[in-house]
Structure 1
């Protein structure tokens, strides 16, 4: 018999969607951070030589994410890539996160005073030693708040993957709303789940920043 009230099965369905949201965020930020660190270092150390890279990343920052999902999903079918919708979502979100993470890393590296770098080189450190032991630790602390905000933004942007057939938190909520016709109740619960996930991420980030300050 079809029930028109919210049940424990519905809540479990939403939690499964929330887990998909978390998994998408983790994988896309892993890809985005890896690509952002590489591209950010290149943009900070070789600004003129990497202008073409900057233009490409600007495209991914400028084009709405929904359009990127639709275009890449269509391109996958045209090229014949045997990728799941989840993989497509991770790749698109990962490239999108890379485009923004690049600027976060670049700003962090450029925030390190040139006098500090000159002092490290005068002490006999090589270019790579200076980058590894001096620049990156200082740049990481500067860039971390921006990276944390990017993570929270990507987590919310995962709601767009419903357009390529993935059932994440918002899609699962809409499915339940269609059945029980209680949008206010269901969407409030979904909003609370999003809030809880964001709160956990923000708290973990704050604890990490406090540890850095205590170690200074």
Structure 2
């Protein structure tokens, strides 16, 4: 009997949670997984995409798929509670409908989505510039995401309450890069710096409904321990 995408994902998650598959271990090749779980190649890719969305694995281009170190993940509650500290404020700058950028479309799907942009400030100092790209299905339930203002407490929480579908967040990657022109504009930087970047994937069930990126200004560290 053929396996299922959810069954493959659940099996590998259990092995990772149980320590049988450890951080840095490489997953078997696609053909092996197809045979092991009696799935098509497309179904295997979908199962791996679910594991990536929940932060269990990550891809290394040209080398394969590897088990992530889940000690570095930031849970949804910690992420939401940790947005601001005392003396910091959130400024919602814009909320517009755009075509999903290529890297976002790889998770959210191609087409139009809602792009929300905000900064976290301490006085005039910009500490963090964040963007989220939200699926239009969410806008049907939470129409206020089309406006550049906060949702109380977050669009994820409002969507979950109104739709009855839970929303989970997995920290997709935590990395560093040299500032782009957009980074410098949003963070009010006059020169290039190395900045910390966190990208997160928001899911409800097996569906990705949002992608987020936070860029942290120099001197404003993000704890991932």
Q: Please say whether Structure 1 and Structure 2 have the same fold, judged by a TM-score greater than 0.5.
A: no
Higher relative contact order (CA 8 A, sep 6+): 1
**TM-score of the aligned structures, taking structure 2 as reference length:** 0.23
In terms of fraction of residues, the more strand-rich structure is: 2
Structure whose CA Rg is larger: 1
